[in-house]
Chains A and B, each alone.
Chain A
């Protein structure tokens, strides 16, 4: 049993080596920049990581084609370098037909985040040559935030202006009422003393005239 599986695997590998030719046909180039992304916590690239990549890509193909049972053996890498970069092609499950570039591209675009996440990388550090990341639309709130700040500032300034303008007018009105009361009491005393003599009456009216001047 084991020998049969090994035989099949080696057969498919040898066939696939002929399929994956860098730069031609349906092959895609991919680059990993693990040290740039993770620095000290970078993991080394080895066969296990390659296996993860093939599994992730098989998942992307399954997810896009909605059920076609792609397996790890359908992803064929070649020309691996120490950059970490390599070419790969995708074949249909159970056959050796190459999947066209367009389908592969759309599958990768759909599951890009999942593939990035599997490797703890980003669109920039896990680069598929020729597949540009779809740009996220920036969040635009309903009310632009600058209008809110403007509203706050202008509200405070307007309240200040109105307060500073109205306050002296209100004060003046209060003062007028108070002085009107004073004048009433003065007039009363003036009336009283007028009975005593003309001088006192004149003296009082001059006094209240002075008050009016100082009010101005």
Chain B
């Protein structure tokens, strides 16, 4: 499909490494660092690896291979590819476009938060290590919770106690958001020419930092406690179906399939490229990165728990020493337990009157956090206790930013390529100054200003929980159905034979035709059932809450609930709408009854009986030949 005067010039990767690094960078994101270790922790440590790897092999890799193969063969972005296979499912591409846009908007807000912390890491002492003073008293909110919590909730977000109270725009956050979008823009300014060069840094740097953290973290006291806690398998959890559901959803979202970005990236490849090997490589590296990242994260969490445990014991030691007037340093951390027992039995009433805090290492290790809580609260607190805090903080936030930036490339590509194919951008725009990239970045930035309000964090949670989940599952399901049943397994095998030199073996075929769609359907249904069981709630930071500093659990108000439903439905509504539109177009000069029979037999023959010749004849009528 030629758009320009000359032959269509599709952009190309400079070399294979750029392509692989871009795909790996897209798949490996912040979630590998802050979601996988958390799931490992709450679902019985090493035992979680079993459902995780099973989901990778039977769900993740087939989907990945499918997307890469389809993009490489048909050489179009996500809209063009589905329109080529069959215009009826052209809506899948539009759904990908909308989802990529919505995810890109809130994901870059998280990067703006990372930038904010990065900018603030160049101070001595770190701003989240102490409470601010007003007159001669520490700020009350800060004193009741911790300086780290205060810095995150008050000085960074300036959060309101309720999602309905919008508050005002936070200017510090606006300029961080503008910086984040400018950085995304400059990396994307020349399309994949500049992206291909940017990924040399953004995809490899996180591994360097993770290794540095690994070495550092393993030398910290308490690291082994954290690692033992993480990897000690609790086989009981395998009997809990929730574990399998979470493993399946985690692998799915972690690989960034169904965004359309992977299809675009592989369409810039040469046609004779072994996409089977690429898919396996990307999938395995993604999972390996998750496991590799959890080692330093858990060493550091173990260190943090040990530090808190020792601080608790020190507090008790001081209280005991002062009360019983023992000589200084008579009770140490080493003989603490002995003295504790001795004093408890010898002077029970006096001992009880002291009301010492219970110090329990296991309980401290159990405090599991994921997401922004892990990065901005738990980790920043651990960094304060490490010597050379600024260096570790800077390294950590640059790593998070690189991880997120390379994922953003995939999101932007998932928006840009379909927009170019749909020809939505007016022709009179001069290509350099106002290109699709700058329009998308500007519009996304303006929409993301919503997240810079004081209640912004609650909205990010809403988007994160609902845009990035149900629509993707539906899109992936339709992708498999589209390729296997509309294009046909035989044609697809031929495609792969042309590209890689051999047909897909029985494993891939079994996965695509039966296992993966079944798995996706089960995951989707289970997910919807689990979500529908309870009214969704959120955790609010309310200084006036009686149990402050615990977060208050609040129900989403009705209008927010309506927005949640919209976020789940709007991206995928294009699939049935476009299907209906295409079927109606075929109708033109028929009566309704004739149209009904024609379209029903058309759908049945194409999907169930796989008489692909009949489908192809219909499809060649309604669109121009493949480019």
Contact = CB atoms under 8 A, between A and B. Distances in A.
A36 interface: yes
A14 interface: no
Given A150-B175, A164-B186, A164-B189, A32 B130 contact: no
B322 A150 contact: no
A94 B536 CA distance: 77
Contact of B138 (A34, A81, A135, A213): A135
Interface stretch (A95-103, A151-159, A182-190): A151-159
Contacts of B433: 165
A207 interface: no
B23 to A, nearest CB: 24
B133 A138 contact: yes
A85 B325 contact: yes
A157 B189 contact: no
Contacts of B179: 150, 153-154, 157
A161 B433 CA distance: 10
A162 B194 CA distance: 15
B327 A82 contact: yes
A25 B328 CA distance: 27
Given A138-B130, A164-B190, A145 B326 contact: no
Contacts of B327: 82-84
B122 A32 contact: no
B322 A83 contact: yes
A36 B477 CA distance: 64
A148 B183 CA distance: 17
A169 B189 CA distance: 14
Q: How large is the interface on A (under 10, 10 to 19, 20 to 34, 35 or more residues)?
A: 20 to 34
A50 to B, nearest CB: 16
A158 B178 CA distance: 11
B101 interface: no
Contacts of A147: 119
Contact of B182 (A34, A149, A158): A158
A165 B182 contact: no
B516 to A, nearest CB: 42
Interface in B281-336: 321-322, 325-329
A83 B328 contact: yes
Given A146-B120, A157-B179, A165-B433, A82 B5 contact: no
A165 B438 CA distance: 11
Contacts of A148: 122
A35 interface: yes
A31 B323 CA distance: 11
B321 A83 contact: yes
Contact of A154 (B5, B138, B182, B329): B182
Contacts of B175: 150
Contacts of A135: 133, 136, 138
A34 B122 contact: no
Interface in A1-25: none
A41 interface: no
B117 to A, nearest CB: 9
Contacts of A34: 328
Interface residues of B, number: 31
A35 B328 contact: yes
Contact of A161 (B138, B185, B321, B328): B185
Given A145-B122, A149-B122, A165-B432, A35 B329 contact: yes
A137 interface: yes
Given A82-B325, A134-B136, A149 B119 contact: yes
Contacts of A84: 327-328
Given A134-B136, A165-B433, A168-B432, A32 B328 contact: yes
Given A157-B182, A164-B189, A146 B119 contact: yes
Interface string A61-84: 000000000000000000001111
Contacts of B321: 83
Q: Which of A36, A138, A147, A150 has the most CB of B within 10 A?
A: A150
A161 B187 CA distance: 9
A31 B186 contact: no
A160 B186 contact: yes
Contacts of A149: 118-119, 122
Contact of A150 (B119, B123, B194, B326): B119
Nearest to A124: B318
Contacts of B123: 145-146
Contacts of A82: 325-327
Q: Which of B133, B182, B328 has the most CB of A within 10 A?
A: B328
Contacts of A198: none
A157 B119 contact: no
Nearest to A154: B179
A210 to B, nearest CB: 12
B432 to A, nearest CB: 6
B132 interface: yes
Contacts of A158: 182
Given A83-B321, A138-B132, A165-B433, A36 B329 contact: yes
Nearest to B182: A157
Contact of A216 (B5, B190, B322): B5
Those 3 A-B pairs whose CB atoms lie nearest each other, nearest first = A35-B329, A146-B119, A81-B325
18 contacts: A32-B328, A33-B329, A82-B325, A82-B326, A82-B327, A83-B321, A84-B328, A135-B133, A138-B130, A145-B122, A145-B123, A146-B119, A147-B119, A148-B122, A153-B119, A158-B182, A160-B186, A164-B186
Interface of A: 31-36, 81-85, 134-135, 137-138, 145-150, 153-154, 157-158, 160-161, 164-165, 168-169, 213, 216
Given A83-B322, A157-B179, 11 more contacts: A36-B328, A82-B327, A85-B322, A138-B132, A138-B133, A145-B120, A145-B122, A146-B123, A154-B182, A165-B432, A168-B432
